[in-house]
Structure 1
Amino acid sequence: MKTVKTVCPHDCPDTCSIVAQVEEGRVISTKGDPAHPFTRGALCAKVIRYSERIYSPDRLLYPLRRVGAKGEGRFERISWDEALDEIASRLKQTIQKHGSESVYCFEGSGNMGIIQMNAHSPFFHKLGASQGRGNLCSPAADVGWNYTIGAMLGSRPESVKQTDLFLVWGSNMASSNMHMLAFFKEAKKHGAQMIVIDPYKNRTAKQADWYIPIRPGTDAALALGMMHVLVEEGLINQAYIEKYTLGFPELSESLADYTPERVEQITGVPAEDVKRLARMYGQARAPFIRIGIGVSRSRRGGMSIRTISCLPGLVGAFHKTGGGALMFTSGAFPINMEAIYRTDLLPRETRILDNVRLGYNLMNQDVSPIKCLFVTGSNPVLSCPDAGMVRNGLLREDLFTVVHEQFMTDTVAYADIVLPATTSFESFDVFKSYGHTYLQKAEPVIPPLGEARSNYDLYTALGRRMGYTEDIFSKPIRDLVWDLFPSLQTNETLHDDFQQGKTIELFNIDDAFADGFPTPSGKLEFYSEQMKKDGYPPLPTYLEVDEEEGDLHLLTPPAHFTLNTSFGGVEALREKEGKPTLQVHPVDAAVRGIEEDGWIEVYNQRGSVQLWARLTDEIPPGTAVAEGVWWSRDTPDQKPINLLTSDRLTDMGWGSTLHDNRISIRKTQSKLPQE
């Protein structure tokens, strides 16, 4: 038996340090690292069972070639040499006939390590392939926050233990940010209160001192209503505003339109609650706002984040111990990302495609079509919006598709060549976090299962197969670390601590705003000249949008036990999650003849899926919630929830609008296949 430290690679702000127990080359158990200052010995319900994911019967262990029809999932085993030779040959033929922009790589966050997550970039830049912009996750949040604050920095997450008022705005922290929530519970022992603002009463909202339900997508209006009350009642820090902010006179004038009564009409939050919330915020000693990614996944997403992030500027919260706000901590990691991106390898400017619109990109024949598709770190058949169009695109006979994957997912079924990928326990990487400030190194815990290869091993090997001689295609992976983090070479103490696997910080986030904000003006910007130049309103505002047809607003947040599609290969976690469910208010169900829990049809103009209706008053009327993205085999009609979501883009950042869709519901008699 031996103990090995590693890191959780999944898309979660906590980026936990893991202590793995290994016996005879096999992972026996996983526990949280008690020595890590953020993990503090605790793991979530998913990662505590990580060995079951590593050894899942759904793991892919060998390269495969398709022998059946696309989507049928029939393959034959081949060698890595055969696979790489065929891929290289098809790439050369395709580029000669259709040009290099007919090649496109769809990447996801299947591995959050800095190297493995980005290892494909040099290869496709050198190839001259089409590039992608935006992603399914949070680009609108990045852009919106940066317009106000200037960089992806905020208050230290651990400092929430010193707050007296914690606003959790659109984040189910109990499921996806449990360690920061644990720090707040230390403040709660001293009388601090937690207010949760969310469209439904999730696990975190059930722990709140006050839960405020809000209509989806109207967050900016509520923030503006709070600002209206704060200014009107003098609950602002005028000295702080004059020293650290820009544009307060313009903001103050614009707030006249956002009376609590008007905000109630927009958000559904009673006017008296708007006033109470603003007063609690303005009178708090050190209020702290934790903003969730889900807020950004709508056509108003970027502006919503931009607007909420203005609130601390009115009360001086960023400079109060235990106060401020946090979106991401990504800016606390000074990284030379060009060392792994290698845009210098681009032979010329190439076309840019919206990653969120994969189905459209595959089906759009009006421009040069995609002829070779690579999928790495993602399961787009399930996770992409407008999933029906994605599937239709992957069925094209003239499309050559390569999927590098750990599991036999829905997307793998459409591949021509399947390549087995390592888990993070089987490869080297370096991890930053977007929810804390500690850099971590992860050495392999066990050898790769079967013939699995890491992203870095795959794309460097494929580069050599294509005849590329640049150093990035032969550099040992550990040497790349010094290119990414020059400070690890110049600081002997940091270098030694990193080499020894210790947790280190490269930037003191406590000093992030000591001398102002990293915006063009050096101040927190209520008024942003850059936004005006970019074609956006320069002041925070509530954007009106046209609603599509449908009776209910659909939300698709992560599931507690299976996250998105990442843990669908762990049977015990699927069982804990139960069945693919739509949570609906009893009133919304009753008017459609649905009087009790049971299977229903959920539909809109993009298609229909069958889900188990759970009638609950934890969902406000007019809203419906489907947590998680289930593998098709585990649904009654083999259809994913994202068949119903649109590939519309966010207002800024080219992100997904996965929380901005309308649906209708009706009865059905379907059952799961195993029932």
Structure 2
Amino acid sequence: MARREMCHVKQLKTVCPHDCPDTCSIIATVNEEGRVVTTKGDPDHPFTRGALCSKVLRYPERVHSSERLLYPLKRTGPKGSGQFERITWEEALDTIVSRLREETARYGGETVYCFHGSGNMGVIQMNAHVPFFHKMGASQGRGDLCSPAANEGWLYTVGSLVGSRPESVAHTDLMLVWGSNMASSNMHMLAFFKQAKKNGAKMIVIDPYRNRTAKQADWYVQIKPGTDAALALGIMHVLVAEELIDRPYIEKYTHGFEELCATLPDYSPEKVEAITGVSADDVRKLARMYGQARAPFIRVGIGLSRNRRGGMSVRSIACLPGLVGAYHKKGGGAIMFTSDAFPKNMDVLARPDLLPEDTRVLDNVRVGSNLLHVQNPPINCFFVSGGNPAITAPDVELIRKGLTRDDLFTVVHEQFMTDTAKYADIVLPATTSFENFDVFKSYGHTYMQKVDPVIAPLGEALSNRELYCELAKRMGFTEDVFTLSNEELALALFPTIAADEVKRTAFLAGETLELIDFDTVFANGFATPTGKLEFYSEQMLRDGYPAVPTYREVEQEEGALHLLTPPAHYTLNSSFGAVDKLREQEQRPTLQVNPVDALAQGIEEDGWIEAYNERGSLTLWAKLTEDVPPGVVVAEGVWWTQHTPDGKSINFLTSERLTDMGWGSTLHDNRVSIRKEA
């Protein structure tokens, strides 16, 4: 296949492709040899304003890492051994197509299954596999590791994935950061709040552990994991009881206030204290600060949704601004995602019309069970795109067992020899976002941007779209989604851009664009069935959920400690494992443990310990700290197993259990015990 030639350029704009709400615009400096030598923030971007995180400042080291995969590979040793030999693209593609035809002839299309992750968040490259597997009639997936429960909870209440403009937090007088470590994962919005702080605004952080953001707060409220809905309902109880509400707003813009009020006696501050660990006095103080603020703003994190009460927790928090009218106040309201700020026609790319009716749907979170236990037909062809489930998905031991099946044919399209790639039969080299065309929208701000490659693909790497268009050609698929140019596809995806000459010209030039007026998203009400913010939801009732916000207890598994697995500061998921300097800054796989819990096991100082539960055990460095409360332990980040002392990742300890809604992961809802290392 012909390679694309690059012109010699000095500086080009591109966008960070990783799973982060800030979606930073980047200026990449490229030398005459076609290497990216530096990355810096784009000062012209309205939201990121020239700042980059420590991860992306080192992006040239990732792009040009000596560990990059450059050529197709075929497995020569046992699965998981990492033993491969180089082959040609012709051999790789012929092998894949031959196996697909063989297995689908025997079992039908549902024997094929693709796990896709969020390694590249570009609209085109992230979804390039979808029409191919629709045409194949492959088993479909529902839910994901990230935020489906959060999405559902918000949508039932607000109606669309929008909220208050993130930059407007500069005008707030009180910001609640609820379950989000913004200093590590949303630094640009935090910078806007610092403008408000200069004018006297206060920041309250609600989180189970004292993370980097909590250490910057005016008041840190420590909450038991998974009890966020109860705290939100306790705040509502006080707001209503003390008339700290906006009744005209409630009448005009909300639905179901009386039904909500009927439940609030169950959530007195004293009852909420028993559930959440937040004292009754602090529940009242928090509610009064919120109710008396001029324009309170809530930044809702998605981590709190990754448990069996996650969707209802997000729904409950999303109701709070409706009681005080904050969604319509400058500097007030709430934001979780901005995803629906970009009207698009995804059917153009996904082509759902190609998918046979009644195609089987599997839970994406349950990778191990899908590979080991699904029958009629079994999964015999497994593709991985933009993900590393062998360490990032729950119950890794189950996944490893599935990946070692002799009859499973696995194809991994990757930039590095990840833990998952080591189990593949065929490994294909993938471009980075610096080497391919894409369109980036954000889920944390309102700007989108088209990017062209800033360097030529390294080695023989192909983009996701190139790969699946080539496979489609060899399979005899003739639909135009496999033949349109990237720019044609991009314009078809965003018809409001295609129809507006000014926007189209700016888009094709790589300028940042807004597609809607985000300041007026609630001007005519909410995108719910009633057109109002729904305290009471008939749709939830039809879907089998309580119609109003509710807190419920769940049965706990064995284990003395509640395990949380939030992102690390210097890495993101498993995407930066090849950048030595970033890994060195994280130091080692660490478990933050309260000294009280450590002492109970005879652990008196920092050092290697064993964490274990019914799913397995692994070795972690115990960091004794009062940043975590008794009964809770925290392991930040996911480490490549080649960098761990025992070849295991934290997700050996997490469960395949699903969230209360949306079929999401419960990565923050697991129990473990600890002991001295043997």
TM tier, shorter chain? over 0.9
2:97 maps to 1:88: yes
CA contact (8 A) 2:169 2:332 kept: yes
Match of 2:18 in 1: 10
Q: 2:513 aligns with which of 466, 488, 504?
A: 504
Q: Determine the structure 1 residue equivalent to 2:5.
A: none
Q: Aligned with 1:642: secondary structure?
A: helix
Deviation at 1:307, TM superposition (A): 0.5
Alignment partners' CA distance in 2, 1:295 and 1:460: 38
Question: Counterpart of 1:20 in structure 2: which amino acid?
Answer: A
**Could you tell me whether the CA contact under 8 Å between 1:151 and 1:331 is conserved in 2?**
yes
What CA deviation, in whole Å up to 9, does each residue of 1:111-141 have, x standing for no partner?
A: 0000000000010000110000100000001
Verify: 1:334 aligned to 2:343, yes or no.
yes
Partner residue of 2:649 out of 623, 640, 649: 640
Identify the residue that residue 591 of structure 1 maps to in structure 2.
600
Cα deviation, residue 347, structure 1: 3.3
1:477 offset after TM fit, Å?
1.3
Map residues 280-359 of structure 1 onto 2, 5 A cutoff: 280-359=289-368
What one-letter code is carried by the residue in structure 2 that aligns with 1:289? Answer: I
Aligned residue for 1:234, secondary structure, equals coil
**After superposition, where does 1:380-391 map in structure 2 within 5 Å?**
380-391=389-400
Q: Which residue of 2 aligns with 1:542?
A: 551
Asked whether 1:205 is paired with 2:189, we answer: no
Tell me if the contact between 2:157 and 2:537 (Cα under 8 Å) persists in the aligned partners: yes
Q: Please list every run of at least 4 consecutive aligned residues from structure 1 whose deviation after the TM superposition is greater than 4 angstroms.
A: none
Once residues 401 and 459 of structure 2 are traced to their aligned partners in structure 1, the CA distance between those partners, rounded to angstroms, is: 32
1:100 deviation in Å?
A: 1.0
SS of 2:410 mapped into structure 1: strand
Q: Which residue of 2 aligns with 1:23?
A: 31
Contact 2:115 / 2:383 at 8 angstroms: preserved in 1? yes
What SS does the aligned partner of 2:365 have? helix
Q: 2:358 and 2:348 mapped to 1: Cα distance?
A: 19
For structure 1, which segment, 473-482 or 149-158, has the greater mean C-alpha deviation from structure 2 after superposition? 473-482
Which of 549, 555, 576 lines up with 2:585 in the alignment? 576
Aligned-partner SS, 2:28: strand
Paired position in structure 1 for 2:4:
none
* Alignment check: 8 A CA contact 1:168 1:196 kept: yes
Name the CA distance, whole Å, in 2 between partners of 1:466 and 1:367.
24
In structure 2, distance between residues paired with 1:659 and 1:100: 34
Quick one: distance in 2 between partners of 1:367 and 1:350? Answer: 12
2: CA distance between counterparts of 1:348 and 1:268? 49
1:161 aligns with 2:170: yes
Paired position in structure 2 for 1:186: 195
Alignment-derived partner of residue 429 in structure 1: 438
Task: Please tell me the residue identity of whatever aligns with 2:16.
Answer: C
Give distance in 1, aligned partners of 2:501 and 2:451: 20
Gaps (5+ residues) in structure 2?
1-8
Checking the alignment, whether the CA contact within 8 Å between 2:492 and 2:498 is kept in structure 1 is no
Cα offset, 1:348, TM superposition: 3.3
> Do the aligned residues in 1 keep the contact of 2:174 with 2:203 (CA within 8 Å)?
yes
Q: Give % identity.
A: 70
The partner residue of 2:253 within 244, 258, 269 is: 244
Corresponding residue for residue 257 of structure 1 = 266
Residue 544 of structure 1: how far off its partner (Å):
1.3
What do the CA deviations read for 1:638-675 (whole angstroms, capped 9, x no partner)? 01100000010000000000000000000015xxxxxx
Partner of 2:502: 493
Contact 2:411 2:427 survives alignment (8 Å): yes
**Deviation at residue 349 of structure 1 after TM alignment:** 2.6
Residue 610 of structure 1, CA deviation: 0.3
Q: CA deviation at 1:221?
A: 0.3
Write the letter of the residue equivalent to 2:344: I
Question: Is residue 2:205 matched to residue 1:196?
Answer: yes
Equivalent position SS for 1:46:
helix
How far did 1:366 drift? 4.6
CA distance in 1, matches of 2:527, 2:478: 39
2:223 is aligned to: 214
Matched to 2:35, the amino acid is R
2:616 maps to what in 1?
607
3-state secondary structure, aligned to 1:402: strand
Q: CA deviation at 1:365?
A: 4.9
Q: Which amino acid aligns with 1:444?
A: P
Structure 2 distance, partners of 1:210, 1:348, is 53
Q: What is the identity, as a one-letter code, of the residue corresponding to 1:92? A: R
Which one-letter code corresponds to 1:233 in the other structure? E
Picking from 116, 133, 136, the partner of 1:107 is 116
Q: 1:356-371 maps to which residues of 2 (within 5 A)?
A: 356-371=365-380
SS of the residue 1:347 aligns to: coil
What do the CA deviations read for 1:315-336 (whole angstroms, capped 9, x no partner)?
A: 0000110000001000100010
Which amino acid in structure 2 is aligned with residue 47 of structure 1?
V
| Length, aligned pairs only | 669
Give the TM-score taking structure 1 as reference length: 0.99
SS of structure 2 residue aligned to 1:31: strand
Residue aligning to 1:411? 420
The SS at the match of 1:106 is: strand
| Structure-2-length-normalised TM-score | 0.98
Task: Give the stretch that moved more between structures: 479-488 or 10-19.
Answer: 479-488
Change (3 A) 1:471 1:638: same
Deviation at 1:474, TM superposition (A): 1.4
Which amino acid in the other structure matches residue 17 of structure 1?
A: S
Q: Say if 1:133 and 1:654, in contact at 8 Å, map to a contact too.
A: yes
AA in 1 matched with 2:126:
M
- For 2:41, give the aligned amino acid: G
**Cα-to-partner distance string for 1:600-627 (whole Å, 9 max, x where unaligned):** 0000000001000000001011000000
Whether 1:230 and 2:268 are equivalent positions in the alignment is: no
8 Å contact kept, 1:128–1:348? no
Question: Partner of 2:251: helix, strand, or coil?
Answer: helix
Whole-angstrom distance in 2 between the partners of 1:569 and 1:340: 32
For each residue in 1:252-296, what CA deviation from the matched residue of structure 2 results, as whole angstroms up to 9, or x when unmatched?
111000000010000000110000000000000000000001011
- Give the distance between the partners of 1:647 and 1:22, measured in 2 at CA: 44
In 1: Cα distance, 2:430 partner to 2:374 partner: 32
Residue 416 of structure 1 deviates from its aligned partner by: 0.1
Match of 1:461, SS state, is: helix
Distance 2:411 2:530 in 1: 47
- The answer to whether the aligner puts 1:118 opposite 2:130 as a matched pair is no
Aligned to 1:56: 65
Counterpart residue type for residue 361 of structure 1: N
Match of 1:673 in 2: none
Partner of 1:310: helix, strand, or coil?
A: helix
2:450 equivalent in structure 1: 441
Q: Which runs of 5+ in 1 are unaligned?
A: 670-675
Q: In the aligned structure 2, how far is the partner of 1:499 from the partner of 1:566?
A: 29
RMSD: 0.7
Q: Secondary structure at the match of 2:298?
A: strand
CA contact (8 A) 1:8 1:47 kept: yes
Q: Which residue of 1 aligns with 2:536?
A: 527
